[in-house]
Structure 1
């Protein structure tokens, strides 16, 4: 088939092709061999098959049908300079140890599959045209991810990874760090998913306001994304907070936040995402969340892109900069003809977009 390519190596023949329905079992077995742990079929379906924007995946298969390399991304609709575009969030890149030396030299199986993937699914990528596979899927205008240092060095050397210039703002708040400003009484609520059926329009309206007023370079936080990312995800409980206008009549949603109890640190809430009409509403929501956490002796942590305009609001509410604990190296790159890849530094992101929680 035209959408496949055969790699002849001294250790046998390998087939590079897109994901086909039914590949899940082989992918999860390869994941287990590569990472030494398991991913459940339910988590895989949520992460990829149920992602509202879809996903892209290339596999490199051995002659016996085992997954030797997996290169995949979630497709995220985003806004860039007022235009809606597609972005690829790279996730779960792996090669199985038994096949890592199938090709000698610097272009091993993982790198070759990565070049085919990026050339095939991006609008523009600086490698030879023969790395492009025939595929009719809509092309993405940027890609990004959160690799560790070792993976980043390999990607920077061979796959054109570029480090996100503004870096990461990792901020911590502890109960004793409350500011002198008392929390305001508002319509905040931490809700389970069954309480949210009537809120889709409000979340959609809030995102449309942000898209229109601020024109950020940002993954879209519409209702479909919100539901999938924070309410439908299988591992662990999510906490969702809302802030509404005061008044007896229409109470417009002005801010929301999503969090989860930290897997790494006891008595910490990881604030995964937060959206607000303006900084005043943001601080009002933060004040309520921190008041609740203080009452339960819980601390709070948040990861934000280093260029995020709301870092100041977190600092005013008592958050303090700290050393980033995960060792991530955010990478972003614009992949549109005629534009500089360095415009990837304009992306605003939070930890909620990653697969690190």
Structure 2
């Protein structure tokens, strides 16, 4: 029986040219931490710092009580000595080696005999269900197969920390779905902490236990996927999880005055009058109601719903819904069933009411997710 690997506690302070990264990353044994953010946010820099490929200016990286990097203490562990298994987006398999020797390289590079390293590599390939690929060269592998082999090579090093940099980004849609399911099983079978860098919110939700969101080199949100989705801290996070983010100030118990002027009835638990507040609204929870030429609603709006006027700016058919953009203020998006969208006959320029069930709206502090 394997001994559970210890966790990760990293305080990263990195400067590269004019860019600086300051981030605290923590993951317990068996926990998967997803690091997400827009391009240039510092995701790959964070991963490379953990792997020892980018030096810290300050801070500390500790895995299971062993310090890997601490500039203030003069500690710097070389990448080859960090027991970090790394899976890159582009696989980085050795083209002149077959699959077995690619996977065996992890142990060979640490001084193990070739026969012992190959035996262990065979065991890892069997465990991942890809032993049939052992004699193939990388050029004979599909994208999904190559990524499985890259993961096998990382696991064959018996890592204390597993690092994955956009591991599914280079795969086609069909391979991505299959490999994502397999990766989920393998990650949760790994005893140590894992750090997954991804731009895909679905990967973060399916694979990760916790999510850290980076913007401009700083952590803007840290929590479970459910917490991040329920209380997005920034416009980027809101867009990532598919909700509309409305900002304003608490006008009193049960009311938020949005920055555009609308006073929105909603729950304000834990907030006081005058506090800054955010309200996350799912487009599927909104509805639209056309207005007549005189500005009167052409259909009744339920008394339980709060409504405000706006102008349709776009009508976009999607796979299962129709996305209707409405300019207010506030500016919102509404997802309608195709049948309802067709019945309303919405076109850009049409005046409408947007309505929401006030009982489903909840305000929270802008720093609630940090």
- TM-score normalised by the chain length of structure 1: 0.24
Which is higher, the Rg of structure 1 or of structure 2? Answer: 2
More strand by share: 2
* TM-score, normalised by the number of residues in structure 2: 0.23
Q: Which has the higher contact order (CA 8 A, sep 6+)?
A: 1
